[in-house]
Chain A
Amino acid sequence: MKLKDEEIVNLFSKPQTVEKGLRAMMDAYQSRLYWHIRRLIVDHDGAQDVLQDAFIKAYQNIHQFKSDSKLYTWLYRIATNEALQALNKMNRMKKTDEDAEYHMQNLVADNAGQDAEEIQVFLQKAIQTLPEKQKLVFNMRYYDDLPYEEISKILDMSVGTLKTNYHYAKDKVEQYIKDNYSQEF
């Protein structure tokens, strides 16, 4: 039985039900958060580490969660921060002078499944060319289908700015696919 956000948060208030609450929270949002992180980090192992860290952070700071916002919005915010931190760390630790964008595109190609559609791979490569904010907005809007109001709460950006960012991101992605996909085929 799937618990509501309020019920999950209430489970954290009693020591006896803390573990139950944590498990319920993970059951409810682990898949959505995993794919959100995976699209940013690309690498599966990296995504796993970030997801774990995100849930641990959520558990440690559950007392700071305000009931006026949705739990998944709060969790998305934590997961996004963790993912961005991990990406920055990866870029700092990268020994070669290889361009970060080029590196991420190669990572997409390496991690793509054998049965993946080429256009999907190109779409992911195109997303890796976007600036950080546009990448986040595009992923949340395009893949997670989050409303602008929720994305606004997660990223602390106005709805207007988000719409503009999404518009620019979509144009860039389409242009990238148009330029590169046509060269391949």
Chain B
Amino acid sequence: MQIDIEKLNRKTPYPEPSEDFFKQMQANVISQTVGQNPMAAKEETKVFSLDFKWMGAAAVILIGGITAFLGFDNTSETQNFASQKPIVDSVYNINEPALPSSSEQLTNNEVTEEHHTDVVIKRNIKNHHIASSKANVSDVKSFNNTDRQVYAVETKRKPEAEVEKVLVAFTPDQLKDLDRNSEQDVYLDLYN
């Protein structure tokens, strides 16, 4: 069988599209091109390409800036660390019990002794007036154990002569006032 395609009718076997097909197709094309104002879109695209250039330049600057900043940061961090070190050391010094120098220790001891002296004097005065007002029993009860111990130690240290000296320093009026106060304490104690 001999076939010569040149002699055949040059038709395609597919059916013709409907009449509306090309109209619909044109409407679709128009809506996707002129309908969306693609001329403006083209301009936007141009601007966008320019933006990419600027964005690229900005990115380079940003990377450089970040790198420089991180470099600075490292230096400052080191500096901070270096400057913090003595602070940390001092903290350790604070935490650790500091060994006072001999002069400091002496001064502290003197201060403590003076303080003790004052306390002892005051308490002796008080004690004296309590004794003189015959209400020492209730007052003694009010002392706690710590006070007693301190008192015992202090009385050992201080001679009675010093107490007498202090008492001499008081005027009779002052002594009366102290006495009155001690009586008031006793009075108040009755209601406790």
Measuring CB to CB, which residues of chain A are less than 8 angstroms from any residue of chain B?
A: 15, 18-19, 22-23, 26, 30-31, 34-35, 38-39, 42, 44, 48, 51-52, 55-56, 59-60, 108, 111-113, 116-117, 119-121, 123-124, 142-143, 170, 173-174, 177-178, 181-182
Given contacts A38-B12, A113-B13, contact A18 B26 (CB under 8 A): no
Question: Inside 8 A of A182's CB, which chain B residues have their CB?
Answer: 1
Consensus secondary structure, chain B interface: loop
Flag if A142 contacts B10 (CB, 8 Å): yes
| Extra contacts besides A60-B42, A108-B13 (15): CB < 8 Å | A26-B26, A48-B17, A51-B25, A52-B28, A55-B25, A56-B32, A112-B14, A113-B14, A120-B8, A120-B11, A120-B12, A123-B8, A124-B13, A142-B5, A143-B12
Q: Can you name 30 A-B pairs with beta carbons within 8 Å?
A: A19-B30, A22-B29, A22-B34, A23-B30, A26-B25, A30-B26, A31-B22, A42-B14, A51-B25, A52-B25, A52-B28, A52-B32, A55-B33, A59-B29, A59-B38, A60-B33, A111-B14, A113-B13, A116-B13, A116-B14, A117-B13, A121-B13, A123-B8, A142-B5, A142-B10, A174-B4, A177-B3, A177-B5, A178-B1, A178-B3
B-side residues, CB < 8 A to A, are 1-5, 8-15, 17, 21-22, 25-26, 28-30, 32-34, 38-39, 42
Task: Find the B residue at minimum CB distance from A26.
Answer: B26
Q: How far is the CA of A111 from the CA of B11 in the complex (A)?
A: 14
Chain A interface SS verdict (over half): helix
Check if A123 sits within 8 Å of B5, measured CB to CB. Answer: yes
C-alpha spacing A123/B15, complex, angstroms: 16
B25-A48 in contact (CB<8A):
yes
A28 to chain B, nearest CB (A): 12
- Please tell me if the beta carbons of A34 and B13 are within 8 angstroms of each other in the complex: no
Greatest chain A CB density within 10 A among B4, B8, B15, B29 is at: B29
Given A35-B12, A116-B14, A170-B5, do A48 and B29 touch, yes or no (CB 8 Å)? no
Choice from B12, B25, B30 contacting A124 with Cβ under 8 Å: B12
- Identify B13's interface contact among A22, A31, A112, CB under 8 A: A112
Please, which residues of chain B bring their CB within 8 A of the CB of A120? 8-9, 11-13
A119 touches B12 (CB 8 A): no
A3 to chain B, nearest CB (A): 15
Give Cα A56 to B11, complex, Å: 28
Nearest CB of chain B from residue A184's CB, rounded to whole Å: 11
Chain B residues with CB below 8 A from A42, complex form: 14
